[in-house]
Amino acid sequence: MVAVFNFDKHYFNVLEVNQTSYETCNDQTFVRNITRGGRDVVELTEARPYFFLSSGGYCFHGMKVAINVEIHQAPAPAPAQINVSPSNSGCSMDLLINHRLRRSEMKLVAF
């Protein structure tokens, strides 16, 4: 999972911060500066909250985002259905299996 930030690097930057710095718009104690070229991609490799803001006072005007990455487990497949139907030679059993193929996925949830 990745987050993509598009911005003018001459005016703005993107800093990863902790939750307290995010809530108070404190750009002095950032975790890392992800600013590279104005179209920056950040890999969200762990299931945890991520907090980003722009320094220079822009955070106070709403230039911040919190992303909570969670592991989303696929639901368990539906149980097998067994249908018994008579035939000319006695009984036969047809096994019908209902299932969904879903992979585990990560989802982005904005705060």
Identify the pLDDT of residue 103: 31
Mean pLDDT of 79-99: 43
Q: Which CATH number fits domain 2-73+105-110: 2.60.40.420, 3.30.2320.20, 2.40.50.140, 3.40.50.300?
A: 2.60.40.420
Q: What is the pLDDT of residue 30?
A: 96
pLDDT in tens, 31-85: 999 999 999 999 999 999 999 999 999 999 999 999 999 988 777 777 766 554 4
Residues ≥6 apart with Cβ < 8 Å to 61: none
Whose CA is closest to 25, among 59, 65, 56?
A: 59
Quickly list DSSP for 27-82.
Answer: -SS-SEE--SSSEEEEE--SSSEEEEE-TTTGGGGT-EEEEEEEEEPPPPPPPPEE
Whole-prediction pTM value? 0.65
